[in-house]
Amino acid sequence: MRAYSLIAINNLEYIETDIPNCKEGWAIVKVKASGICSSDIPRVFETGTYHFPTIPGHEFAGIVEKVGSIDDLKLVGKHVGVFPLIPCKKCLQCKQGHYEMCSDYDYLGSRRDGGFAEYVAVPVWNLIEINEQIKFEEAAMLEPLSVALHAIKNCSLKNSDRVAIVGTGMIGFAAAQWAKVYGVKDVTVIGRSKGKKILADRISVNYCVMNSLDDEFDVVIEAVGSNKAVDLSIKLVRPYGTLVLMGNPEADIVLAQNTYWRILRKQLHLVGTWNSAYEKGKKCDWSEAIEAIENHRIDVSGFISHVFDQSQLKKGLDLMHGHTEPYCKVMTMWNTEDK
Ligand SMILES: [Zn+2]
Ligand SMILES: [Zn+2]
């Protein structure tokens, strides 16, 4: 099969390699769509991953090609999305079903081989069957959609809240849509430039450029993970308001004394949110995200700004790394020769 193997920092090779083995309780998924996550950019270009070589990619969907146990044979040929975190199921958090906080997890696309490949080995527990009406590229966005939903559920919004989301990536716009689904009327997305206003218009939320703001919001969701965005978010929350920290930090976040004081003086409520809640076959962030795609309560396709064939994946990575064009979700399509 063809795959992208990260063999060293800033050294991703498009290689020919063996299709992974299928162990008992596992399945081989034939990848059809694989999204590039903003966390893949530092992983590929700057920090590397836990070990080399590793095939990155954790936002993917496809078709079950093969299974390791006879009991799972009915899965072959099914369309699936994939929960990329493989929990230990032994630690305290796992025992309580909070797999996203597992202390000893494995992860497709960072700790083990992931979705920038024609085939991936995935535990059957991590497969989420989707109906064939959902496009693979939509199902490949279940992970960011679920992460955004998790954040929204963590901050108990009221319909009357004025909610701002700082950041215009896929997760930021997904959070804005979930806030609306959860009944909030006044939702504002805050970006660096006017460029992404068109995406806010698509989902009928307000759009503001960072520097032009001296408003105060009841709830501010930080969806970038940069120092600048954290500073701005702290500034934008009203006294007694709620600050939700969702963006994965790109580096150390350092707060100036005055910024720190704002948290104290305004007596802010700080909410951390991490990953998403998943439980096989039960109602969870992932099942809710699938339902929202199915009944068109959430627009996902509209946030795919770029689509590349698998052979052009590096173009997508370069575009995101260099910010050479405005983008939202960059998607790659795999195994396109068969339908
Ligand atoms: Zn991701
Ligand atoms: Zn665990």
Q: Give 2's pLDDT tier (boundaries 50, 70, 90).
A: very high
Domain ranges in the chain with CATH number 3.40.50.720: 148-272
pLDDT at site 242? 98
Question: For residue range 210-252, what is the model confidence (pLDDT) as tens digits?
Answer: 877 778 999 999 999 999 999 999 999 999 999 999 999 988 9
Residue 257 Cα, ligand 1 centroid: separation in angstroms? 32
Q: Give 43's pLDDT tier (boundaries 50, 70, 90).
A: very high
Residue 103 Cα, ligand 2 centroid: separation in angstroms? 5
Task: Determine the 3-state secondary structure of 121 from DSSP.
Answer: strand
Closest ligand to C-alpha of residue 60 is 1
The pair of structure tokens assigned to 5 is 């193997």
H helical segments located in 269-312? 285-294
pLDDT at site 214? 74
pLDDT at site 211? 75
Closest ligand to C-alpha of residue 92 is 2
136 or 338: whose pLDDT is higher? 136
Cα of 41 vs its chain's centroid, Å: 13
Residue 250 Cα, ligand 2 centroid: separation in angstroms? 25
pLDDT surpasses 60 at 339: no
Q: How far apart are CA 284 and CA 255, in angstroms?
A: 35
Residue 310 Cα, ligand 1 centroid: separation in angstroms? 18
Closest ligand to C-alpha of residue 102 is 2
Residue 131 Cα, ligand 1 centroid: separation in angstroms? 22
Q: Give the right CATH number for 2-141+300-333 from 3.40.228.10, 3.40.50.9100, 3.40.50.2300, 3.90.180.10.
A: 3.90.180.10
Q: What is the mean pLDDT of residues 86-92?
A: 98
Residue 252 Cα, ligand 1 centroid: separation in angstroms? 20
CATH 3.40.50.720 fits 148-272, yes or no: yes
Instruction: Identify the CA nearest to 128 among candidates 112, 111, 145, 116.
Output: 145
Question: For residue range 247-273, what is the model confidence (pLDDT) as tens digits?
Answer: 999 889 999 999 999 999 999 999 999
Residue 64 Cα, ligand 2 centroid: separation in angstroms? 26
pLDDT surpasses 80 at 61: yes
Instruction: Identify the CA nearest to 284 among candidates 85, 34, 25.
Output: 85
Residue 219 Cα, ligand 1 centroid: separation in angstroms? 23
Closest ligand to C-alpha of residue 87 is 2
pLDDT surpasses 70 at 22: yes
Percent of the chain with pLDDT over 70: 99
Q: What is the mean pLDDT of the chain?
A: 95
Asked if 311 and 151 touch (Cβ cutoff 8 Å), the reply is no
| Predicted model pTM | 0.94
Residue 112 Cα, ligand 2 centroid: separation in angstroms? 16
Q: Give 193's pLDDT tier (boundaries 50, 70, 90).
A: confident
Q: Please, is 283 exposed, middle or buried when counting C-beta atoms within 10 Å of its C-beta (0-12, 13-18, 19+)?
A: exposed
Residue 275 Cα, ligand 2 centroid: separation in angstroms? 14
Maximum Cα interatomic distance, the chain, rounded to a whole number of Å: 62
Closest ligand to C-alpha of residue 95 is 2
Domain ranges in the chain with CATH number 3.90.180.10: 2-141+300-333
Residue 151 Cα, ligand 2 centroid: separation in angstroms? 21
